[in-house]
Amino acid sequence: MSLCCSGLASGQNNSKDNGEDEDAPAKPKPVLPNIYLDLRTIYTTLPAGTLSIGFSAPPLLSTLSNLTSLGTLSSPASRSINLDIPVTVDVNEQLSVYGGVSGASSQSGSLPWSSFDIYGFTVGFQADLYQQNGGMFPTVTIQSNASRSISDAPLATTSYNTILEFGYALNPDETRGLLAGAQYTKIIVDSIFAEVKPGYVGYVGGYYQWDNNWKLTGRFGVQSFGGAQLLNLTPFPAFTQPIVRLDLDRMDDDDNRLFGVTAQIAWTPKPSYQLTVRTPLYAIKN
């Protein structure tokens, strides 16, 4: 989904030195993994005549679903409230898998807010391909998901979203560091008469975690979207513009996320705003 999108979109647990005495007994390994609903509430605004992939694809799927249900790909200024409900399992410190549904209510132009409807489902994973663990090479993380619209709109869509990120910790307990990454998003429309070109995001950033376990992460980059076509028309033109994302998370001593807020601004070329509140609901938390 979102990557969170995300933030990345899932509750990934990073290796971290908790400052315990080396002579203290080691914590027993948990019998069961973390299992939780990674509930995300997303408020998005879009200027007229634009689509924005940003750091997460589901809001774009929602926009396409709402527009095609009206039988048009012309878009006035709009806003929407999305709810992502993925069941997430942290298999271990290197791998998380998730899957769930997404729903939305939207408002376009002078029209009233639509009813809240489930518009799609997402499955995906996040994995550390390599962990720095005090070494000289950065942690390499990949997050990939597939989303499918399930509404009765005439143009159903499938989205594939992949993020590859490099994180270099600047201290042994990994509470501050640098980030760099890239995202690729492909939207496939179930029609030979419509096409959504791929979207790319390249970014750099960093993170800092205080002693009270509040963590701030910033990502600054460029988004390039190839546009969308219907027959010989191009109602959504291509653009290459800046994008900014800030994450503020409350972690526990074992780096499990307890609460998070994400603010994103993507120029399309006019600004599109997105605010995400993450409230994980744990069934099992180690």
Q: What is the pLDDT of residues 228-264, one digit of tens each?
A: 777 666 567 888 999 999 999 999 988 899 999 999 9
pLDDT (tens digit per residue) in 99-129: 999 888 888 878 899 888 888 899 999 999 9
More confident residue, 179 or 74: 179
pLDDT of amino acid 64: 54
Q: How far apart are CA 6 and CA 18, in angstroms?
A: 25
* pTM, to two decimals: 0.82
CA distance 238 to 199: 10
Which three-class secondary structure state does DSSP give residue 177? strand
Closest by CA position to 74, among listed 230, 239, 267: 230
Per-residue pLDDT at 7 = 44
Token code pair at residue 175: 């509470």
In this prediction, residue 149 has a pLDDT band, given cuts at 50, 70 and 90, of confident
Question: What is the pLDDT, as a whole number, of residue 232?
Answer: 65
CA angle 2, 142, 59 (to 5 degrees): 15
> Range with the lowest mean pLDDT among 4-18, 140-154, 210-224, 250-264?
4-18
Mean pLDDT calculated for residue range 142-166: 85
Give rounded-to-5 percent helix, strand, coil for the chain: 5, 60, 35
Helix (H) or strand (E) holding 60: helix 58-69
- pLDDT at position 177: 97
Percent of the chain with pLDDT over 90: 47
pLDDT digits (tens, 9 = 90+) for 65-81: 554 443 444 567 888 89
Per-residue pLDDT, averaged over 28-46, amounts to 87
Q: Are 138 and 164 in contact (CB under 8 A)?
A: no
pLDDT of residue 72: 44
Domains and CATH numbers, the chain: 37-284 (2.40.160.40)
